[in-house]
Structure 1
Amino acid sequence: MADILQNYPAFLLVLARISAFFITLPLFSYRNIPASHKAGFAFFLSWIVFISIDVPAVNINGSYFMLVLKEVLAGLLIGLMAYIILSAIQIAGGFIDFQMGFAIANVIDPQTGVQSPLIGQFLYTFAFLLMLSLNAHHLLLDGVFYSFQFIPLDQPFLPLGNENVIHFAVTSFNKMFVIAFQMSIPVVGSLFLVDIALGIVARTVPQLNIFVVGIPLKIAVSFIMLILVMAALFMLMQQLFETMLYTMRALMELLGGADNGPT
């Protein structure tokens, strides 16, 4: 505590970054966690980080407020990047819902407070439980800790205008949609074959009401395929967690001023 009192401006910078992390970081930013718990956890985690790293001497002057803004922006961007990668699960559920006919029936996600697709919320719940069972949330905290090695406290600005940062952001968005497509293609592909079969039946047997038969048939096929490919989905979710951590690390390197592009 004495170190904090002697160099409290640097501690406030650490607290600003970690508090910003908890605004956008998956799991720690959910609404069902009380705000008082988030604030207390951010404070004690900042204390642990402060006494564990080499903190430079920082004075409160005209440039200090720019450092505070830089810390908040760094925490928000890195946490948001992790959230974007993890949202591939809900995007995959949206693809499946669109083919099933459930696209109009969205539900409110109690964790984020926004509307999400039914199957997307179903898969996201499994991913959430898998992340806790694999202790991936510990790796998120590990990324928060090591961000201070990549982005020093006394770094005056973030190179957001660097072409490597912009290219990395676009590549990460592309990677998120590719992962979502990989997760949804078994069910979506099966429903596409069902649509082709129903189209052939509609042309050969005009008396049959395809709309009455097609909707429950597509729902049944969707749930059967989800049961069959659930193990493969869990493997993709585990790879998604690894991709999320690698993406956070690469973004930290770029924001810290690394000249080389992401690998």
Structure 2
Amino acid sequence: MSALSFSAEQINSYVGLIIWPLIRIAGAMSILPVLGGGEVPVRVRVGLAFILTIVVVPSLGPMPQVDPLSVDSIVISAQQLLIGVAMGLVVLIVFNAVTMAGETIAVTMGLGFAMLNDPQNGSQVPTVSQFYVIMATLLFLSLDGHHSIIMLINGSFTVLPIGQSLGEGALWLLVSWAAIIFKGALSIALPALTAMLTTNLVMGVITRAAPQLNLFSVGFPITMTVGFLSILLTLPTFQAAFESLLRMSQLTIVEFLRS
């Protein structure tokens, strides 16, 4: 029986069939919340990227006939990395909006000094932000957000096959999407901020009417209590706002690939 033999063209096609999809998927998994990011061990991210690559490869079309060691191959690899990182960044911005909303509420209710380590961003954030991030993570999983993201990554090879470059408006679309951090944070935190602003106005009127009242001994417990009640009562609005942000992020990813 003769040994198996492969030509140089076959080896190049096999290498491209595995490496380029893996680069795109690994780029998304490097910063994608819940499935990737700093809170997930590197081995788990790499293993998940390999598994998704194995699942995706049979459905892919023909790869560009390019030497893996050529300049064109490096350009294609950089494009796949950029596409994967961009898709993960779109979802990460949604979770950053949740973090910013929690920071705004925490500072308003006087808990800005209560900090915890955030493994996702590698920084310290208020405890209220961590609470909102945990709620967002549970909602993300309960709404099958992880399945939707995996399907989007799989569908990205159909919308934007390997070898095709991004359009001119793709980068600008990604930059414009970054503004959702402030819009999304405002949509999440606005009900609680309204209650806190009303409380501060009432405390200001009381202090003006009774100057002998110690504002620091009375106002701080009242502000904190109203803050916790506002968070509790506005959780349904948080769910609606987060679902809207997730839908917008998925539409942005599709528009980014088609641009």
TM-score by length of 2: 0.89
Does residue 134 of the first structure (1) align with residue 143 of the second (2)? yes
Task: Give the alignment partner of residue 103 of structure 1, picking from 108, 112, 115.
Answer: 112
Tell me the equivalent position of 2:3: none
Tell me the equivalent position of 2:131: 122
Tell me the equivalent position of 2:237: 232
Rounded to whole Å, the distance in 1 between the matches of 2:193 and 2:200 is: 10
Verify the 8 A CA contact 2:23 2:81 in the aligned structure 1: yes
Verify the 8 A CA contact 1:109 1:115 in the aligned structure 2: yes
Aligned amino acid, residue 25 of structure 1:
L
Task: Give the alignment partner of residue 80 of structure 2, picking from 71, 78, 99.
Answer: 71
Aligned-residue offset at 1:72: 0.9
Does residue 41 of the first structure (1) align with residue 48 of the second (2)? yes
Where 1:87 maps in the other structure, the secondary structure is: helix
Aligned-residue offset at 1:15: 0.8
Tell me the equivalent position of 1:259: none
Tell me the equivalent position of 2:221: 216
Q: Structure 1's 223 and 23: CA in aligned 2 closer, same or farther, altered over 3 A?
A: same
Verify the 8 A CA contact 2:25 2:49 in the aligned structure 1: yes
Aligned-residue offset at 1:26: 1.5
Where 2:18 maps in the other structure, the secondary structure is: helix
Rounded to whole Å, the distance in 2 between the matches of 1:166 and 1:30 is: 22
- Percent identical among aligned pairs is 26
Task: Give the alignment partner of residue 52 of structure 1, picking from 59, 76, 87.
Answer: 59
Rounded to whole Å, the distance in 2 between the matches of 1:37 and 1:199 is: 53
Aligned-residue offset at 1:83: 0.5
Does residue 203 of the first structure (1) align with residue 202 of the second (2)? no
Tell me the equivalent position of 1:169: 174
Rounded to whole Å, the distance in 1 between the matches of 2:255 and 2:244 is: 16
Verify the 8 A CA contact 1:26 1:82 in the aligned structure 2: yes
Aligned-residue offset at 1:105: 2.4
Gaps of 5+ in 1: 255-263
Tell me the equivalent position of 1:153: 162
Verify the 8 A CA contact 1:85 1:172 in the aligned structure 2: no
Rounded to whole Å, the distance in 1 between the matches of 2:189 and 2:178 is: 17
Q: Structure 1's 46 and 91: CA in aligned 2 closer, same or farther, altered over 3 A?
A: same
Q: Structure 1's 65 and 30: CA in aligned 2 closer, same or farther, altered over 3 A?
A: closer
Tell me the equivalent position of 2:21: 14
Aligned amino acid, residue 151 of structure 2:
D
Aligned amino acid, residue 26 of structure 2:
S
Verify the 8 A CA contact 2:90 2:252 in the aligned structure 1: yes
TM-score by length of 1: 0.87
Rounded to whole Å, the distance in 2 between the matches of 1:242 and 1:62 is: 38
